[in-house]
Amino acid sequence: MDTTPDKSLWFFFKKGDLNAFKALFKIHYPALHTYGIKLSNDSNLTEDCLQNFFIYLYENRENLSDVNNIKSYLFVSFKRRLIKQLQNKKLRTSFLEQAPLEQEIMFSPQELAVKQEVQFLCTKTLHNLLNDLPKREREVVYFRYYCDMSTLEISEVMEIKSQSVLNILQKAMIKLRKHSENKLIAEILKKS
């Protein structure tokens, strides 16, 4: 048996160890919940879906495959489950839109905890800049700076190559740096 913490936790969880399940839940629930709300914009639906997801994991633990990275596995699996739930909800509520369901991550000024690369930006300016980014770039920035995922974890969740993650992240950072100064100056001038 591999002795890395993730592999050990997963091993004991699959064997039915209740403490391992509790640890898995405690470690990953908050980040999955926040991510789910960003995708669904519905706290109740997210909570229900996430609790059902963990119940499903526990009930089917013996049939689950071994994973190298629990965080990536949970994000990918939960995202699929939540999107399926959202599609079912959309069908039940009979919206007239026939377009495929596309979820976008939106940043709000209240939740931004400005990280190392973007500390010089004020929250309002950063909020506007982040929401102006294309959908993929917003998603990579969210995973990297708000979920503290590695490039490999992001590539697994988004089902793209690690190099693509780095390229998308670099494009986003270039745009943020390029536009931040101009928007920040405009905000300051508008208030004076």
The string of pLDDT tens digits covering residues 69-99 is 899 999 999 999 999 988 887 765 544 454 4
Look at residue 52 in the predicted model and tell me its pLDDT: 94
Containing structural domain, residue 62: 5-92
| 88 and 132 part of one domain | no
Domain annotation covers residue 26: yes
Domain assignment present for 126: yes
Same domain, yes or no, for 86 and 121?
A: no
Q: DSSP assignment, residue 1?
A: -
Say what the pLDDT of residue 35 is: 92
Whole-angstrom Cα distance, residue 47 to residue 100?
Answer: 23
The pLDDT tens digits for 87-142 are: 887 765 544 454 455 566 666 655 554 344 444 445 666 677 788 889 999 999 88
Q: Which of 92, 124, 156 is the last residue of a domain?
A: 92
183: in domain = yes
Domain count for the chain: 2
pTM for the whole structure: 0.64
pLDDT at residue 170 greater than cutoff 60: yes
pLDDT higher for 190 or 64? 64
Please report whether residue 166 resides in a domain.
yes
CA 159 to chain centre: 13
Cα distance between residue 28 and residue 77, in whole Å: 13
